[in-house]
Amino acid sequence: MKLGNTLIEKGQKWQGELKVTDHYSMPIYGICGEEEGKTLVITAGVHGCEYVGVQTARKLWKSLNPREMKGQVILLPLVNQYGFYEGAKQIVPEDGENLNRVFPGKSDGTLTQRIAYVIEKEIYPHADFLIDLHGGDCNEAMEPLVFFPIAAKSLVNEISWEAASYLPVTYRVSSTAKNGLYSYATQKGIPALLLEIGGEGKWQESEVEHCESCIYHLMSYLNILQTNVSKKEQKEIIQAVYDEVGVNGFWYPRVKPGQSVSKGDLLGKICDLEGNDLQQYIAQLDGEVLYHTTALGIKKGDPLIAYGAY
């Protein structure tokens, strides 16, 4: 396997830097199996406060044994380093942009746009499959789930959906996104998934083990690891509602991730400083809660709550 100007021999591990600008590089790890096979790209840390994926990627680098692999794994364990070290929610602090909204990026744009550009030009061409590790942000509680594409070419959608069905998570959710790290990869013909585990600015070893298990299942599906896996019992969300904050205020959720709701149920409300109701959020359909904001103070236009029917 060749990454940039570096040739990684079969049976070897390699680590280096992927240059974005003169002042910013991303750590990159390569693990090359002893036999030919597919290449899986794993990215983490697109959002700096989503810690489970970052910790999982670090752990995978140490635990994966190239002697047990057919094919390759490329790891970008900390894409948004500034966001991680500064504890910045959703954005790259240097320019305030959300990396998961700017693909394919620009070679002469902001730092966020340049990161996207380098990933698309330098990493996508190696990928037979890509998985981007996320979780609820520092102000979000979330049930484990995986997003799969429905806006790419039919074969890409089908392979991604099938791969998603092997991951041990509660929900499988369709997505029409096109401008994120994983979703733009699907637009370029690469099957891909976005995995969500953890949230609220925390991480637990059990969550990391869960995320790691999902990666092992995916690697087995791709025949990079020679272990038998079967499809998991999941709930496929066929219709989802993604509510945004309608007005600045104080948020009082009445539900939790994974909770069943019926059409007409109160999901939560926003109050003003004096405690007067400003806005109520009512379930538009029967379904289950996927995630919601846990912060007390909320800003108009930010994500608030998501729920869906299966």
- Burial class of residue 310 in the structure, from the number of CB atoms within 10 Å of its CB (0-12 exposed, 13-18 middle, 19+ buried): middle
**DSSP code at position 67:** G
Cα–Cα distance measured from residue 143 to residue 80, given in angstroms and rounded to the nearest whole number: 23
Q: What percent of the chain has pLDDT over 70?
A: 100
| pLDDT for position 163 | 99
First-to-last C-alpha distance (Å) of the chain: 41
| pLDDT for position 158 | 99
3-state secondary structure at position 91? coil
| pLDDT for position 32 | 96
Cα–Cα distance measured from residue 70 to residue 49, given in angstroms and rounded to the nearest whole number: 33
Place of tokens 């199996």: 33
pLDDT band, very low/low/confident/very high, at 155 (cuts 50, 70, 90)? very high
Cα–Cα distance measured from residue 37 to residue 82, given in angstroms and rounded to the nearest whole number: 34
Cα–Cα distance measured from residue 229 to residue 99, given in angstroms and rounded to the nearest whole number: 33
- 90-149: pLDDT as tens digits: 999 999 999 999 999 999 999 999 999 999 999 999 999 999 999 999 999 999 999 999
Claim: this prediction has a pTM higher than 0.95: yes
The alpha carbon of residue 86 and the mean position of all alpha carbons in its chain are separated, in whole angstroms, by: 20
- The CA-atom distances, in angstroms, between 127 and each of 31, 42, 87, 239 are 13, 10, 30, 30
- 253-303: pLDDT as tens digits: 999 999 999 999 999 999 999 999 999 999 999 999 999 999 999 999 999
Evaluate if residue 7 carries a pLDDT over 90: no
Buried-state track 170-198, b at ≥16 Cβ within 10 A, e below 16: bbbbbbebeebbbbbbbbbebbbbbbbbb
| pLDDT for position 298 | 98
Evaluate if residue 81 carries a pLDDT over 90: yes
Q: Which value, in Å, is the radius of gyration of the alpha carbons in the chain?
A: 20
- 102-111: pLDDT as tens digits: 999 999 999 9
| pLDDT for position 6 | 80
- 190-219: pLDDT as tens digits: 999 999 999 999 999 999 999 999 999 999
Cα–Cα distance measured from residue 297 to residue 186, given in angstroms and rounded to the nearest whole number: 35
**Which structural domains are found in the chain, ordered by start?**
2-235 (3.40.630.10), 238-309 (2.40.50.100)
Angle, alpha carbons 12-15-20 (nearest 5°): 140
- 166-180: pLDDT as tens digits: 999 999 999 999 999
**DSSP code at position 70:** E
Higher pLDDT: 195 or 7? It is: 195
User: What's the mean pLDDT when you consider all of the chain?
Assistant: 97
Query: Which three-class secondary structure string do you get for 168-216?
Result: CCCEEEEECCCCCHHHHHHHCCCCEEEEECCECCECCHHHHHHHHHHHH
Evaluate if residue 3 carries a pLDDT over 80: no
Cα–Cα distance measured from residue 16 to residue 132, given in angstroms and rounded to the nearest whole number: 20
Place of tokens 């041990």: 168
pLDDT band, very low/low/confident/very high, at 5 (cuts 50, 70, 90)? confident
| pLDDT for position 1 | 78
Higher pLDDT: 64 or 9? It is: 64
